A = this chain, B = another copy of it.
Amino acid sequence: MKAHVYVTPKKTVLDPQGQAICNALRKMRYAGVADVRQGKCFELTLDDNLPLADARTEVERIAREVLTNPVIEEFSFRLE
């Protein structure tokens, strides 16, 4: 089983990396991009014998306690 965790800067937090990319895209004449935000994604390979409910709890705990800085970031995840 795979878990995908997405960690992004909170909406209220300035994202200079994203802004730099957005400015670069405009200078390079890519049309139609109003804003860019950059985040991190993690692909966790889980043991196949882990029950789905446990996997969900564990991934949520890992995302909250290890992968995310709660001051400036938020996360979402999905299992597949």
Flag if B58 contacts A28 (CB, 8 Å).
Answer: no
Chain A 59-75, CB-CB to B under 8 Å as 1, else 0, gives 00110001100000000
Q: Which residue of B lies closest to A24 (CB)?
A: B66
A contacts with B, residue count (CB < 8 A): 33
Residues on the B chain within 8 Å of A46, using CB: 32-34
Q: Which residue of B lies closest to A58 (CB)?
A: B32
The residue from B36, B54, B67 contacting A43, defined by CB atoms under 8 A apart: B36
Residues on the B chain within 8 Å of A55, using CB: 32
Report A's interface with B, CB cutoff 8 A.
Answer: 6, 8, 18, 21, 24-25, 28, 30-47, 50, 54-55, 58, 61-62, 66-67
